[in-house]
């Protein structure tokens, strides 16, 4: 794949479990790829600043948190997941996009360094310092548990919807009936504006079939595939 917007650089400060919270069952996402997809979405929008972005399958909030640290044109983040436990983890990660959240994380890492004197904790504190310097302002976030294959309780339409959907058995991540992926696309069309841009990352076997969304581009990267859409006519 040709990267149009995101340069190939060191993203180790954003590694899961370093400053950002990780854990078993919490999906991560390649930082460079996530930023490339986001910037491609921005390219389809009429304006280039002050975006609200939403992830309906946020997991532990890793992708959204990374995007917040890397993109100063994000004004607000909305996140939901079918798992309340994942939403709780996402809240901790998205709080890092605020001075208060970074201060709390610094205390945690300093306590770990005092207890265990590990180089990894010292390096994490150095990463936190760099992330703090890169954050020009607090980015507010709204989180809630929701099954995105059913009605999503979201009143304000986001500018960009970006999500890395669960792979494998689709039935495991929603109970909206029939094909959960198709149900998700339908529900997202009901909370979008005509100019909302949708980016969905799936494995190569997962396919959208419907007319609610018009595909703008498609790219395959290894086992992953991402597609970018706007609402159909």
pLDDT at residue 205 in the model: 86
What is the reported pLDDT for 1? 85
pLDDT at 113 over 80: yes
As beta bridge partners, residue 231 has 213
Tell me if 51 sits within 8 A of 74, measured CB to CB: yes
| Sign of the torsion formed by the C-alpha atoms of 227, 144, 47 and 187 | positive
Domain ranges of the chain: 12-98+140-231
Mean pLDDT, residues 66-72: 97
pLDDT score, position 169: 46
Q: How far apart are the first and last CA of the chain?
A: 30
Averaging pLDDT over each range in 19-23, 171-175, 189-193, which range is the top one? Answer: 189-193
Mean pLDDT on 18-30: 89
Percent of the chain with pLDDT over 70: 95
The more confident residue out of 176 and 58 is: 58
pLDDT at 65: 98
Task: State residue 134's pLDDT score.
Answer: 94
Q: Span 12-98+140-231: which CATH code?
A: 3.40.50.150
Residue 189 banded pLDDT, cuts 50, 70, 90? very high
Arithmetic mean of pLDDT over the chain: 93
Measured CA to CA, the distance from residue 11 to residue 95 in angstroms comes to: 19
Is 80 exceeded by the pLDDT of residue 138?
A: yes
Does residue 219 surpass a pLDDT of 60?
yes
């Amino acid at each position: 794949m040709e990267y149009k917007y995101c340069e190939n650089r060191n993203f180790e400060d954003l590694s899961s479990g370093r400053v950002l919270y990780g854990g078993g069952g919490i999906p991560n996402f390649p930082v460079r790829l996530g930023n490339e997809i986001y910037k491609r979405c921005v390219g389809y929008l009429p304006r280039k600043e002050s975006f609200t972005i939403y992830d309906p399958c946020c997991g532990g909030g890793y992708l959204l948190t990374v995007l917040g640290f890397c993109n100063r044109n994000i004004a607000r983040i909305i996140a939901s997941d079918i798992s309340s436990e994942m939403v709780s983890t996402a809240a901790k990660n998205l709080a890092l996009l605020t001075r208060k959240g970074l201060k709390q994380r610094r205390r945690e890492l300093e306590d770990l360094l005092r207890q265990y004197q590990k180089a990894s904790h010292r390096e994490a504190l150095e990463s936190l310092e760099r992330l703090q310097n890169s954050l020009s302002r607090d980015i507010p976030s709204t989180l809630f548990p929701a099954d995105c294959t059913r009605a999503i309780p979201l009143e304000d339409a986001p500018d960009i919807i970006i999500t890395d959907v669960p792979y494998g058995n689709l039935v495991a991540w929603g109970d909206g009936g029939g094909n959960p992926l198709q149900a998700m696309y339908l529900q997202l069309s009901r909370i979008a504006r005509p100019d909302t841009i949708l980016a969905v990352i799936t494995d190569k076997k997962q396919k959208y079939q419907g007319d609610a969304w018009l595909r703008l581009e498609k790219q395959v990267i290894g086992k992953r595939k991402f597609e970018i859409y706007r609402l159909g006519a």
